[in-house]
């Protein structure tokens, strides 16, 4: 991992992801979280402030040591216990049926083997457990999609592997979840290349 990915991008990402409208969406996604919780793609820990009060402990993974370094500073003042592991989502070191909820916010786009990671999410969820996600990805408009596909190679270099053209709904539905709900919308004041949102819940 190079200097940019480890030291510069995490700080740029932390600043970009602190927008008030994004904070509101985090709160909406996390309002129903409970039980044993796993967050994949923990990043710099921006979700910590939006977990319900009854959630006092979570497990989290993120492969970027620059992200986890910033996250540990945020954890120190959060009042919530976090078991943070510096690893990716493609091979989770947890037993089958360990968690009641798995959370992912603006993460799936940067996982190279996203299907494998979602298979792991399904595996570690208990029967009836829920995968709650908030992601950006492939737009509805054909013109937007064309530009997303053209620009994804550049985006991946600039944003630590982030893809603009991930069909989030398709990859989630590609797992054997019993029920999947997905809401599509555009993020305000954001170009459609980046602002095509997927918010949903997949239940095992």
Domain boundary assignment for the chain = 3-203
pLDDT at 159 over 90: yes
Q: Quote helix, strand, coil % in the chain, to nearest 5.
A: 40, 25, 35
pTM: 0.95
pLDDT at 1 over 80: no
- Segment 143-151 shows an average pLDDT of 97
Mind listing the pLDDT tens digit for each residue in 6-51?
889 999 999 999 999 999 999 999 999 999 999 999 999 999 999 9
Mind listing the pLDDT tens digit for each residue in 116-129?
999 999 999 999 99
Give pairs for 92-97: CB < 8 Å, separation 24+: 92/38, 92/40, 92/61, 92/120, 92/121, 92/123, 92/124, 94/38, 94/59, 94/124, 95/124, 96/123, 96/124, 97/123, 97/124, 97/125, 97/126, 97/127, 97/129
* Domain 3-203 bears CATH identifier 3.40.50.720: no
């Amino acid at each position: 991992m190079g200097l940019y990915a480890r030291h510069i991008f995490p700080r740029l990402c932390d600043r970009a992801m602190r927008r008030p409208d994004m904070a509101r969406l985090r709160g909406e996604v996390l309002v129903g979280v409970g039980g044993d919780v796993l967050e994949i793609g923990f990043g710099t820990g921006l979700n910590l402030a939006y977990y319900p009060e009854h959630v006092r402990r979570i497990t989290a993974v993120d492969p970027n040591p620059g992200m986890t370094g910033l996250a540990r500073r945020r954890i120190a003042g959060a009042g919530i216990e976090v078991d943070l592991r510096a690893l990716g989502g493609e091979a989770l070191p947890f037993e089958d049926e360990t968690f009641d909820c798995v959370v992912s916010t603006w993460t799936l786009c940067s996982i190279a083997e996203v299907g494998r990671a979602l298979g792991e999410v399904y595996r570690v969820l208990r029967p009836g457990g829920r995968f709650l996600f908030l992601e950006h990805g492939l737009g509805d408009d054909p013109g937007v999609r064309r530009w997303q596909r053209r620009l994804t190679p550049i985006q991946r270099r600039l944003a630590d592997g982030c893809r603009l053209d991930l069909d989030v709904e398709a990859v989630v539905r590609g797992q054997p979840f019993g029920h999947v709900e997905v809401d599509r919308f555009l993020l305000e004041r954001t170009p459609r290349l980046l602002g095509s949102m997927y918010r949903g819940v997949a239940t095992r």
